[in-house]
Amino acid sequence: MRTRTGPLDLHSFMASVGFAVGLGNIWRFPYVTGENGGAAFVLIYLGCAFLIGVPILMAELMIGRRGDAAPPIAMANVAKESKRSPQWRWVGGMGLLAAFTIEIVYSVVVGWVLWYLFKAITTGFAGVDAMNAEAQFTAVLADNWGMLFWTLAGLAITGLIIFAGIKNGIERAVTIMMPLMFVLLLVLAGFNIFAGGFWEAVAWLFTPDFSKVSYATVLAAIGQAFFSIGVAMGGMMTYGSYLPRSISISQSVLIIVIADTAVALLAGLVIFPAVFNFGLDPAAGAGLIFQTLPVAFAQMPGGYVFAVLFFLMLAVAGITSMVGLVESVNAWIEEHYGVSRHISALVVVGSVAVLSVLSILSYNVLEGLSVGDRNFNDVMDYFSNQILLPLGGLFIAIFAGWFMRREHSKEEFATLSAPGYAIWYFLIRYVVPPALLVIFILGVTE
């Protein structure tokens, strides 16, 4: 059994916030929003986050704390306690597979962030305009050795943190860097009010046009909600295993989701004003943030300082999320195979490093190699976001609502009011499973 201590547990909670608030909010949310028409997508995303993501996130933290182990073992422990089959462990295994799949592509994006941090330090993006920024990012995608170097640098930092034990450094960094990131986003959004494009961005983000909504929009929204909050990836269940009963799960989830949503919306108000002000394409895809912000930094007073600080914060957010993804797999290998943390960290990070080469090459050399219309990165994104995450969330909800003993979940939610528990129990039983089942079917039949 794991030993929990006060300061350690507070840091574990902050680590879970750092895991949720990362590149999914600042890199992925803006470009997915851009690809799906703006405000209507944002509204559906918020509904998915609060009505589906929150109940599952509460269930994950609850199972992790109750099971007191890595996700597959925690699921088996809670199942056996409720006189159910320990084979429920495979649901935890799905979360680990989702985390590992996401790590392969995510590690390359973290590499981009580190590379742009280096660019910010050395040039501050002085004199960069929209054409330069686009050309610069195109050059990044064509430079395999450069991408490999910075991807390995990000994985090396992640590996060192995991190798040393996540409790001795990353959580302390999160408690400082996450508030600083929030303040910096506020400052950048405030600057955009005077720089131009701000009110066009506000209208685009918050005036929904439901004629643009399709089932693909809903699929993208639930995928973004899961990816952004960190649902069904094993990370929250892992962090839950470190939480004591003195920390309220419901309050923790509320803080996590509010912080996650606030950062995502602020990121939109930082990026889209530059998009509209400089005539860029909001549907530019994964490179949106790297093609817009350098232009904004080049135009603003003190742009060098803001550029360095922003990409430093983004690097911390990316590394923190990578630590959460890797730690969920690492903890299971460590417990299941009885190996040291050092060996398990080397195995996980090493395997991600090898497979990340395929992700890197898919941006250029292997771009034309596809399954259907999807290259390697698209396949990884489809497999994780449209299959593993909704299926994992579905089975977590079914287990928590229908197979776990109700008195056990009540014990874990002891600080939650009776009406609050009743709402959660209703959602996890009757709303979340059918919604995710429909979303999954639509996703695999598109």
Closest by alpha carbon to 236, among 15, 3, 4, 11?
Answer: 15
Q: What is the pLDDT of residues 35-69, one digit of tens each?
A: 888 888 999 999 988 999 999 999 999 999 999 99
Domain membership of residue 162 (yes or no) is: yes
Percent of the chain with pLDDT over 90: 37
Give the least confident one: 55-64, 94-103, 177-186, 302-311. Answer: 177-186
What does the alpha-carbon distance between residue 398 and residue 435 come to, in Å, rounded to a whole number? 12
Query: What pLDDT is attached to residue 174?
Result: 65
pLDDT at 351: 96
Q: Which two tokens stand for residue 321?
A: 């999320």
Which of 241-255, 370-384, 386-400 is most confident?
386-400
User: Which CATH number is 281's domain given?
Assistant: 1.20.1740
Q: Is 1 a domain residue?
A: no
> Residue 391: what pLDDT?
92
Are residues 300 and 192 in contact, defined by beta-carbon separation less than 8 angstroms?
no
Residues 181-211 pLDDT 10s: 788 888 888 888 888 889 999 998 888 888 8
Whether residue 299 lies inside any domain: the answer is: yes
Residue 173 has pLDDT above 90, yes or no: no
How far are the Cα atoms of 91, 402, 411 from residue 395, in angstroms, in the given order?
7, 10, 21
Per the model's pLDDT, the better-predicted residue between 223 and 394 turns out to be: 394
pLDDT of 180: 77
Measure Cα distances from 293 to 125, 156, 443 in Å: 9, 26, 32
- Whether residue 109 lies inside any domain: the answer is yes
Q: How confident is residue 303, by pLDDT bands cut at 50, 70 and 90?
A: confident
In a domain, 360, yes or no: yes
pTM for the complete prediction? 0.87
Task: Determine, yes or no, domain membership for 349.
Answer: yes
pLDDT, residue 189, reads: 86
Residue 213 pLDDT greater than 60, yes or no: yes
Task: Domain count for the chain, please give it.
Answer: 1
Tell me, yes or no, whether 224 lies in a domain: yes
Domain, as residue range, for 180: 6-445
Better-predicted residue by pLDDT, 236 or 443: 236
Which of 425, 95, 101, 366 shows the shortest CA–CA distance to 240? 95
How far apart, in whole angstroms, are the C-alpha atoms of residue 164 and residue 6?
Answer: 20
pLDDT at 3: 44
Averaged pLDDT for residues 301-315:
86
Token pair 């129990």: residue: 425
Is 40 within a domain? yes
**Residue 1: pLDDT over 80:** no
